[in-house]
Amino acid sequence: MTNKQLLSFLKNKKETLSLLIPIVLGLYLRVQTLKWHRILAYDPYFYYRQAVYFASGGSVHDIDPMIVTTVRRFSDNEYFLPLLWGYLGKIFHVNLWTLGIYLPLVIFVLQVIIVYKMGKDAFNWRVGFFASLFLSVMGAHVYRTHAGGIWKDTLGSLFMLMFLHATILILKEKRLDKGKAIVLGSYLAVSLYLSIITFDGFGEFSLVVSTYLILAPLTAKPRKNEFLIATLMVPVLLLGGMSVGTYWPWSDYQLKEIYLFVPFLIAGIFDLVFLLLAVVIFRYRKKEKVLYGISLILVALGALYFSKRILHEDNQNSLVGYLIYKFYKFTAYLLNPNSYWLSAQSKATSPDVLRLFFSSLLIFALLGGAVVGYRIARSSTKIQRRLNLLFLILFAIGAFLGIATIRLTYLMSFGVAFLSAVFFDCLLDILQTKISNKNKAIAVLLSILLIATVPTFVEAKKYVSMPPLPNDEWLDAVEWMGHNIPNTTVFNWWDWGHWIQAFGVKTTSDNIYQRGGEYAWFLRVSEKESMKLIERTKEIARKNTGKNITIDYVVVSRDLLLKLSTINRYYPPNVKISVYPFVLEGAVGNLRVYSVANAKIFVEFNENNTKATLVYGNVKRELKNIVIEMPSGRNIVYTYGQDNYIAYVTPDICFLIPSSLKDTMLVRLLVFEQSEKYKLVYDNGYVKVYKINN
């Protein structure tokens, strides 16, 4: 091939070849976690356990045998990810553990392709390229697509993107004939349904499209394209909601409450109502957009008044009252997620997290929002007004949800990527117009592009370089449990339930889908009171399932001391636990220095006379109660008299614990390793397993 032929080939294939850049950059970031060779975080272990169960012939309607305090079928939660995972491994004879590590990388590549197609079909190939590039280096997206990070969000968002892509293709059609309506409608319906059974109540993209359908008549008269989308969404949302968290009405299973999908279904029904209203209003052909806008405001005010009356009168027994109440609870959760859930992922997103996940791209997305807003107001073509409105809503809803709760920053990443891409596409047009020298225009564009991507890439690299979760100590512990106590029930903090269950322990008292306050209170009470909490857990299981269970083991771990902000939510203010962690700063010989803010703890190790000194400001004081963590044996305790604090010294953190907590089970089992009713049977210095002496 001559140079001329090569250049011709590259020119003709530049659009396709451009996709290699975001794919290669994105994979480089996401493969960083391969070095741990493990599935990461919490929820993926639940999906892994389900995948193993389904691959072994289990059904989605089976009762989960590892959840003991309540009756829960696998179909009570999103099940398509573990179902697909299990059958892929079974069909292709791939180890499920290895498949779970690499599957997110495959999903990432598919998402890049879909994002590129969305940008190209809605605008042009440059928007598709920029959007896929920004998504590939964005920490918020790496958050859910790195190797080993196989969440329901990972696969569910692929189907959500496909649903949005189908919406774009339908909206673009000038003449939607029967054949195209069937093909594109099927694409839309199947992708929306798969997104629901993969990512259940978090069908944010359906909310995006519903909001678009309601607001679209403000830009142009509704067409049959919009009616096709709205007509398909309602039955699919209903079907999807009945498939997750509930059971078919004609089956033998008890009908259960339908959760977060209800607001999305209500929005879908409103779409049809408002589109019909718009058709009626547009018949007047005089200030029809203004009339429609006034109608929207009046309906919104009426809905607020009506819902207030329903809620005030506590009239939730009727179907209308129930639906409005569910919508109210959903909105209240979005506005204040901390009051509804205990998961750290439900907390509002802090500025530091936004910087870590989006960096400079958030600024470019806002600039892109201005461009899109201008196009909605000024564009001469109706289809461009419609598509720009759709992407603006995608960003607005994604930003609202992503800032309201950390977990949804991942979905926020798509809106940020697209609006940033629109800005750079607009910038390229301006540069080509204002700068006659093509090379100079490209140099300016590349400079600004580096400002957008390099800081984001660096922050994403930091994220994938963090220590793994679970750490090596936890993996060793759960493997030991799987081999040594496989047919027992352990009493544990709910975060760890999926890890323990995935490695063969028969049941756990808690996991993310069965979490009570009993374990939290177990940590807070004395040994004399502790057995009451275990008995209460047994009673809850007996009441909910009709079965008697035996709890034989208790698990504690050092990471409890780093989870107190969550554990304290179970306690009234007067009994909350406060512990002060000092992180290892350095070591010289037998001296270790731990620090936090402007305070330091100096620990000098001697065979029979270890000392610890606390220094803050101009104050220096000797600590008289010191406990040294010993992974291979009992912890060493040094007592030099009465003190207000216990210095719990571990290799990487020195915890300053108030002495008032010395008789709590948290300190007795984790720090002092002293108990009459509980026998220490496993200790790796981080995780400890105690057998209950009956």
Same domain, 251 and 325: yes
Report d(CA 491, CA 494) in Å as an integer. 9
Place of tokens 């079965």: 547
Total of domains in the chain:
3
Contact status, residue 117 vs residue 336, Cβ threshold 8 Å: no
User: Where a domain ends, among 307, 335, 363?
Assistant: 335
Report d(CA 173, CA 195) in Å as an integer. 24
Helix, strand or coil for residue 450?
helix
What CATH number should be reported for the domain holding residue 647?
Answer: 2.40.128
Of 255 and 533, the structure prediction assigns the larger pLDDT to: 533
Is the pTM of the predicted complex or chain greater than 0.75?
A: yes
Contact status, residue 241 vs residue 233, Cβ threshold 8 Å: no
Residue 310 lies in a domain: yes
Same domain, 623 and 652: yes
Instruction: Give 187-190's long-range contacts (Cβ < 8 A, gap of 24+).
Output: 187/162, 188/163, 188/229, 188/232, 188/233, 189/232, 189/236
Report d(CA 208, CA 230) in Å as an integer. 12
Within 282-360, residue ranges assigned H as helices are 288-312, 319-335, 351-358
Report d(CA 654, CA 685) in Å as an integer. 14
Res. 332 pLDDT band, cuts 50 70 90 = low
Of 387 and 346, the structure prediction assigns the larger pLDDT to: 387
pLDDT, tens digit (0-9, with 9 covering 90-100), for 607-657: 788 999 999 988 999 999 999 999 878 899 999 888 899 999 999 999 999
Of 573 and 316, the structure prediction assigns the larger pLDDT to: 573
Residue type, 229: I
Contact status, residue 659 vs residue 643, Cβ threshold 8 Å: yes
- Rounded (to 5) percent helix, strand, coil in the chain: 65, 10, 25
Q: Using the predicted structure, report yes or no on whether residue 312 has a pLDDT greater than 70.
A: no
pLDDT on residue 329: 57
Residue 510 lies in a domain: yes
Same domain, 212 and 270: yes
Q: Using the predicted structure, report yes or no on whether residue 20 has a pLDDT greater than 50.
A: yes
Residue numbers of the domain that contains 165: 153-335
- Element holding 623 (H helix, E strand): strand 619-623
Res. 339 pLDDT band, cuts 50 70 90 = very low
Same domain, 498 and 601: no
Same domain, 542 and 588: no
pLDDT, tens digit (0-9, with 9 covering 90-100), for 510-554: 766 656 689 999 999 999 999 999 999 999 888 888 888 889 999
Residue 447 lies in a domain: no
Same domain, 526 and 557: yes
Q: What is the mean pLDDT of residues 64-77?
A: 77
Same domain, 480 and 556: yes
Residue 366 lies in a domain: no
Q: Using the predicted structure, report yes or no on whether residue 341 has a pLDDT greater than 60.
A: no
Q: What one-character DSSP code corresponds to residue 508?
A: E
What CATH number should be reported for the domain holding residue 506?
Answer: 3.40.50.12610
Q: Considering the chain, what percentage of its residues have pLDDT values greater than 90?
A: 57
pLDDT, tens digit (0-9, with 9 covering 90-100), for 37-67: 999 998 899 899 999 999 999 888 788 888 7
Same domain, 511 and 536: yes
Q: Using the predicted structure, report yes or no on whether residue 315 has a pLDDT greater than 70.
A: no
pLDDT on residue 182: 95
Residue 50 lies in a domain: no
User: Where a domain ends, among 532, 566, 600?
Assistant: 566
Q: Using the predicted structure, report yes or no on whether residue 12 has a pLDDT greater than 80.
A: no
Residue 244 lies in a domain: yes
CA separation, residue 639 to residues 396, 578, 611, 675 (Å):
58, 22, 10, 18
Report d(CA 488, CA 168) in Å as an integer. 53
pLDDT, tens digit (0-9, with 9 covering 90-100), for 448-497: 999 999 999 999 999 898 889 899 999 999 999 999 988 888 999 988 88
pLDDT on residue 176: 87
Helix, strand or coil for residue 603?
strand
Determine if the peptide bond prior to 470 is cis (ω within 30°): yes
Same domain, 216 and 321: yes
Mean pLDDT (the chain, rounded)? 86
Q: Using the predicted structure, report yes or no on whether residue 302 has a pLDDT greater than 90.
A: no
Lowest mean pLDDT among 34-48, 59-73, 409-423, 658-672: 59-73
Same domain, 588 and 609: yes
Lowest mean pLDDT among 19-28, 119-128, 512-521: 512-521
Same domain, 176 and 319: yes
